[in-house]
Amino acid sequence: MKEIVNEETVLRVPKWTLSKRKKNISFSNIFLLVAIVLVLFIIASALIPKWIAPYSPTYMNTESILSEPSSKHWFGTDYFGRDVFSLVIYGSRDSLIIGITSVLIGSLIGGGIGAVSGYIGGYIDHFLMRVIEILMTIPGILLALAIAAALGPSLMNIVLAVAASSIPGYARVMRGQILSIKKRQFVDASRSIGTHSWKVFVWHILPNSWSPLLVMGTIGLGTSILIGSGLSFLGLGVIKEVPDWGALLSQGRGYLVVGWWMSTFPGLAITLFVLSINIIGDKLRDTFDPKTSRMR
């Protein structure tokens, strides 16, 4: 009898599930660690490229054009004879500037619209949400493309284009969050003791609704860099002395057959950075999302 009960308990919680669960968690931790290291490295590249890159990004060694990756040139050289590794390191700055500033602009404007819309409600909510919905009918990359083409090539215009394309997402999320917090008991309580409505908004609602925006912004950073690179790839960026990742990718496109390294490494840089940012964003979501934390 005792034995049977024992068997049942073993069946209910099989050993392999336990071990696998443990393994999964450690796996994700390793990924998270690698992602954080990579992101830190790329941020360092953007801040102090001089200390990391072995060559100047504008130095054209006409004696060794299109040379394969070697110990001298880790990522090979491009058709100008520039060191691709150094170009990727230096190119991170513009890519990050595009990513970070466009997320900041996009989330501030989008979040602002969402907060106002959600808290005030009524006609203003109606009007703002219809505008946002119109913007949402246009795919983000297309919107960015149209804006960049209309404004002409410059770094600031690319930032604006990418930011504008992300505004609707932020606005919707912020509005939803405000709507749900607005109805919570502690807000009602604060209101019932006669707190000014503006104070309620600043002291109680805002602090409790910004975390989804943080998660979205982190993941959005990857998307923004991707869209920004896409725009430069399509030739809507600026021709600068130091090209950003998208422009590097585009330059190597005609040389895929004879010099695969020219666009492979900038492409990998984009992929790995966006992947890392997504991993970190996922982790942040797990931490902030009340649903998943309850599940644990």
- Residue 71: helix, strand or coil by DSSP? coil
Residues 6+ apart with CB under 8 A from 184: 208
Site residues for other proteins, 127-156, by CB under 8 A, read: 153
Rounded to the nearest whole angstrom, what is the least distance from the CB of residue 17 to other proteins in the complex? 8
Residues 6+ apart with CB under 8 A from 238: 153, 154, 155, 158
110, 167 contact by CB (below 8 A): yes
24, HSE (Cβ side, Cα atoms, 13 Å): 6
| Piece of the chain touching other proteins by CB under 8 A; list 59-67, 83-91, 187-195, 208-216 | 59-67
Query: How many residues form the binding site for other proteins (CB under 8 A)?
Result: 40
Whole-angstrom Cα distance, residue 260 to residue 296? 46
At which residue do the structure tokens 């309850």 appear? 294
Rounded to the nearest whole angstrom, what is the least distance from the CB of residue 48 to other proteins in the complex? 20
Measured from the CB atom, the residue of 108 and 146 that comes closer to other proteins is 146
Regarding 287 and contact with other proteins (CB under 8 A), the answer is: no
Question: What is the x/- site pattern for other proteins, positions 21-50, by CB under 8 A?
Answer: x--xx-xx--x-------------------
| Piece of the chain touching other proteins by CB under 8 A; list 94-102, 176-184, 202-210, 273-281 | 273-281
Q: How many other C-beta atoms can be found within 10 angstroms of the C-beta atom of residue 253? A: 11
Under the rule (CB under 8 A), what is the footprint of other proteins? 21, 24-25, 27-28, 31, 58, 60, 62, 65-66, 79-81, 153, 235, 239, 241, 253-261, 263-264, 267-268, 271-272, 275, 278-279, 282, 286, 292, 295
